[in-house]
């Protein structure tokens, strides 16, 4: 079975708090929950917290989301309303490296091949798009400063 490129990309990013956009379209989802009333489609920024082998995802709202909406989307997430295909991550490109990241990456690639697990993990930790997801429309380019610590 061919595993989807987005699924392969999201799984190792979970520990690093990847932020993405989930589209809540009440006209296409079978949602029967009490809570925040949503009567028109909306996009909400969320943090991916879990993904399972079936592609079900769990997430939580990013800071700044209204409490009612945050609670509701987390409840929907817990109930399996969304799959990874409903989630569009925000990723960075190599052009977005800070000076410190450029130095780290140069040092890392002096010791390891670019496709080494340690390099791939570093990309995941720094939310770098190394699979071309931004180019094929599967991911959004992260706004400047989104992943600043």
Q: For residue 20, what are its two tokens?
A: 């993405």
pTM of the complete model: 0.79
Q: Give me the residue label for tokens 């939310």.
A: 127
**Mean pLDDT taken over the chain:** 80
Longest distance between any two alpha carbons in the chain, whole Å = 54
CA distances from 7 to 64, 114, 115, 116, 119 (A): 27, 21, 18, 20, 19
Condensed to tens digits (0 to 9), the pLDDT of residues 34-43 reads 555 556 677 8
Does residue 6 contact residue 84 with C-beta atoms inside 8 Å? yes
pLDDT for position 5: 84
Distance CA 25, CA 27 (A): 5
Distance CA 122, CA 6 (A): 18
* Average pLDDT of the residues in 98-109: 92
pLDDT for position 6: 85
Condensed to tens digits (0 to 9), the pLDDT of residues 45-102 reads 888 888 887 777 788 878 766 666 767 777 777 776 677 777 899 999 989 999 999 9
> Over 50: is that where the pLDDT of 108 sits?
yes
């Amino acid at each position: 079975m061919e595993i989807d490129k987005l699924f392969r990309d999201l799984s190792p990013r979970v520990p690093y708090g990847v932020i993405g956009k989930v589209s809540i379209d009440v006209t296409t989802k079978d949602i029967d929950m009490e809570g925040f009333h949503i009567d028109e489609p909306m996009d909400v920024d969320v943090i991916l917290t879990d993904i399972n082998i079936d592609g079900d995802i769990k997430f939580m709202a990013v800071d700044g989301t209204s409490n009612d909406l945050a609670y509701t989307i987390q409840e929907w997430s817990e109930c399996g309303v969304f799959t990874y295909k409903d989630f569009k991550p925000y990723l960075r490109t190599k052009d977005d490296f800070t000076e410190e990241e450029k130095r780290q990456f140069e040092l890392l690639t002096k010791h390891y091949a670019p496709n080494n697990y340690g390099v791939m993990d570093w990309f995941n930790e720094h939310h770098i798009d190394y699979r071309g997801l931004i180019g094929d429309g599967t991911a959004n380019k992260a706004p400047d400063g989104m992943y600043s610590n």
